[in-house]
């Protein structure tokens, strides 16, 4: 009964005309920001936060949160249509979404990701409503050693994303980790792989790397292949855009699994949020699939699971932020800043002292995601029409968009040159069999792993036994070791079977 009363209070707060308008404005801005590569929801929220100083706290948070999860919806559009991740967390959709677009199935891909986004968000919001206090307490039980162990498991899982040999996949992860460690060591102040370039002191930007690996490299590959885009010859009828009944069935369970992965990752601060969740969901789907060879070639589970995980993580990230005052990433830190600007102290007392704000924000998540669902489905035909633009016009426009987006990050020409250099290196590595997705995940998690590793060793005074003594970290490290052995055995077993057949052949 108390829960129903809280939801009624939230509905009364969120359904006011002022909050509905701010919610609509937020999700629209977020969707546009997500579609345009290089801008990012972090920059959009930072720029628009001053506009919220003179509005009520609930309306301000409703709009800023709408930009955040609206960008998760929009980020998948550019990933699928142009192989340009609109947000870092949507980069994994390039692996199967773009091949579907090339085969003339962009409409089905966009519709499935739209539904997956809504399902992931909706289920995560239900968890937020029902389990916010218990999950917040569970997150408090996690130690830096446990976070490190989770990330080790994530990186080992990322090694299985590679289409080739699993050892090459693990090597791709290591290359990504090395790029993630570029910059100033925050503990010692030492310069690491900066080569005296001041723009590298703060490290490589994830947007720069994603644009190089998934944007420019694809343009180079497509120009060299000389293949025609099937979407240019596809009639844009609603019946053609609808997935078949078999495709709906194929995507249903991955959506649920992805939602579970995203909710679990999102509730843990410092785990990388949607980026980690989407890659982990992709790795899980590839491992449990009966047809893992179809991944990277347009597999529907390869877009349904990561998209639902991405949006579930975006919503569940608010659990530790609102209930504990612990931001999981820079976006959540901005949300806490918005609370403090309006005179609200973040922490467990938010739910008790400001129930209208907390429950109004939660209900606005439901309303905002419903708005995004209604807005996105009619626009699918318009997004697919982008693929009808001839290549000789589309490719220069993509390169121009990449340059503008990357330059807008820091107004630095060095970033543009880094994209060019990383594109050449990425093209060579991918041609040699290395995977772009494991590289990107290694890049994302390396700084977080280093931070949690050092923090754990400081607490234990340099004793590595802390990773085994703690049950949570020991469990995740054991899972990582088991997965590594499974991957290696899967790689060695076919070779041994081939040798045995050759021996038996007279």
* pLDDT category of residue 321 using cuts at 50, 70 and 90: confident
How much of the chain, in percent, has pLDDT values that exceed 70? 79
What pLDDT is stored for residue 356 in this prediction? Answer: 86
The H or E element spanning position 123 is helix 106-140
Q: Is 11 a residue whose pLDDT tops 70?
A: yes
Q: Is 3 a residue whose pLDDT tops 80?
A: no
Q: Is 234 a residue whose pLDDT tops 80?
A: no
What pLDDT is stored for residue 231 in this prediction? Answer: 47
What pLDDT is stored for residue 405 in this prediction? Answer: 73
Rounded to two decimals, the pTM is: 0.66
d(CA 133, CA 348): 9
Q: Mean pLDDT for the chain?
A: 78
Between 191 and 169, residue with greater pLDDT: 191
Q: Is 219 a residue whose pLDDT tops 90?
A: no
- 140 by DSSP, 3-state: which? helix
Q: Is 448 a residue whose pLDDT tops 90?
A: no
Q: Is 381 a residue whose pLDDT tops 80?
A: no
Q: Is 260 a residue whose pLDDT tops 80?
A: yes
Q: Is 207 a residue whose pLDDT tops 80?
A: no
Length of the chain: 506
Q: Is 93 a residue whose pLDDT tops 70?
A: yes
* Contact status, residue 399 vs residue 219, Cβ threshold 8 Å: yes
Least confident segment among 69-78, 274-283, 341-350: 341-350
Q: Is 42 a residue whose pLDDT tops 80?
A: no
What pLDDT is stored for residue 452 in this prediction? Answer: 83
Q: What is the mean pLDDT of residues 31-60?
A: 74
User: Which residue's structure tokens are 């609370």?
Assistant: 339
What pLDDT is stored for residue 269 in this prediction? Answer: 62
What pLDDT is stored for residue 20 in this prediction? Answer: 93
What pLDDT is stored for residue 2 in this prediction? Answer: 72
Q: Is 500 a residue whose pLDDT tops 50?
A: yes
Q: Is 328 a residue whose pLDDT tops 50?
A: yes
Q: What is the mean pLDDT of residues 449-469?
A: 86
pLDDT tens digits for range 351-365: 777 888 888 888 998
Q: Is 403 a residue whose pLDDT tops 80?
A: yes
Q: What is the DSSP letter of 412?
A: -
- In 366-449, where do the E strands start and end? none
How much of the chain, in percent, has pLDDT values that exceed 90? 4
What pLDDT is stored for residue 23 in this prediction? Answer: 92
**Residue 215, CA atoms < 13 Å, CB-side half-sphere:** 33
Distances (CA, A) of 159 to 39, 79, 162, 166, 172: 29, 22, 6, 6, 7
Q: What is the mean pLDDT of residues 243-252?
A: 82
* pLDDT category of residue 227 using cuts at 50, 70 and 90: very low
Closest CA to 84 of 139, 40, 38: 38
Distances (CA, A) of 226 to 27, 222, 379: 38, 6, 29
Q: Is 222 a residue whose pLDDT tops 90?
A: no
pLDDT tens digits for range 115-170: 888 888 888 888 888 876 665 566 667 788 888 887 787 777 766 655 567 778 78
* Contact status, residue 59 vs residue 109, Cβ threshold 8 Å: no
Q: What is the mean pLDDT of residues 287-296?
A: 82
Q: What is the mean pLDDT of residues 357-378?
A: 86
């Amino acid at each position: 009964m108390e829960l129903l009363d809280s939801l009624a209070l939230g509905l009364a707060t969120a359904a006011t005309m002022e909050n509905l308008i701010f919610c609509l404005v937020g999700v629209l801005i977020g969707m546009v920001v997500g579609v345009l590569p290089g801008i990012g929801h972090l920059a959009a929220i930072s720029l628009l936060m001053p506009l919220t100083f003179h509005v009520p706290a609930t309306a301000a948070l409703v709009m800023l949160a709408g930009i955040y999860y609206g960008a998760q919806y929009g980020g998948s559009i550019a990933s699928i249509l142009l192989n340009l991740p609109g947000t870092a967390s949507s980069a994994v959709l390039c692996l199967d979404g773009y091949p579907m677009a090339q085969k003339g199935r962009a409409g089905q891909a966009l519709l499935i990701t739209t539904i997956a986004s809504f399902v992931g968000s909706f289920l995560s919001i239900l968890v937020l409503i029902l389990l916010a206090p218990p999950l917040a307490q569970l997150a408090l039980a996690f130690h830096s050693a446990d976070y490190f162990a989770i990330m080790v498991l994530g990186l080992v899982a990322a090694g299985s994303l590679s289409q080739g040999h699993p050892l090459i996949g693990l090597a791709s992860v290591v290359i990504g980790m090395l790029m993630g460690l570029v910059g100033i060591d925050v503990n010692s102040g030492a310069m690491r792989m900066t080569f005296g370039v001041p723009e590298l002191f703060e490290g490589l930007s994830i947007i720069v790397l994603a644009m190089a690996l998934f944007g420019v490299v694809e343009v180079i590959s497509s120009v060299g292949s000389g293949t025609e885009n099937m979407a240019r010859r596809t009639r844009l009828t609603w019946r053609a855009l609808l997935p078949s009944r078999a495709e709906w069935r194929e995507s249903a369970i991955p959506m649920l699994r992805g939602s579970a992965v995203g909710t679990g990752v999102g509730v843990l601060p410092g785990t990388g949020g949607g980026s980690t969740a989407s890659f982990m969901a992709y790795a899980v789907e590839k491992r449990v699939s009966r047809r893992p060879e179809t991944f990277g070639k347009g597999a529907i589970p390869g877009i349904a699971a990561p998209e639902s995980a991405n949006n579930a993580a975006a919503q569940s990230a608010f659990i530790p932020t609102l209930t504990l005052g612990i931001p999981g990433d820079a976006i959540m830190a901005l949300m806490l800043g918005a609370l403090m600007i309006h005179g609200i102290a973040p922490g467990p007392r938010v739910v008790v002292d400001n129930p209208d704000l907390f429950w109004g924000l939660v209900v606005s998540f439901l309303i905002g995601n419903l708005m995004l669902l209604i807005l996105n489905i009619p626009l699918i035909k318009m997004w697919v029409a982008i693929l009808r633009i001839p290549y000789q016009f589309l490719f220069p426009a993509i390169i121009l968009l990449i340059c503008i987006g990357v330059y807008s990050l820091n107004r630095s020409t060095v970033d543009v040159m880094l994209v060019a250099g990383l594109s050449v290196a990425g093209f060579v590595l991918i041609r040699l069999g290395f995977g772009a997705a494991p590289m990107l995940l290694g890049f994302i998690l390396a700084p977080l792993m280093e931070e949690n590793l050092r923090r754990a060793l400081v607490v234990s005074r340099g004793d590595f036994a802390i990773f085994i003594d703690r049950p949570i970290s020991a469990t995740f490290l054991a899972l990582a070791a088991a997965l590594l052995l499974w991957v290696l055995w899967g790689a060695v077993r076919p070779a041994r079977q081939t040798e045995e057949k050759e021996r038996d052949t007279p």
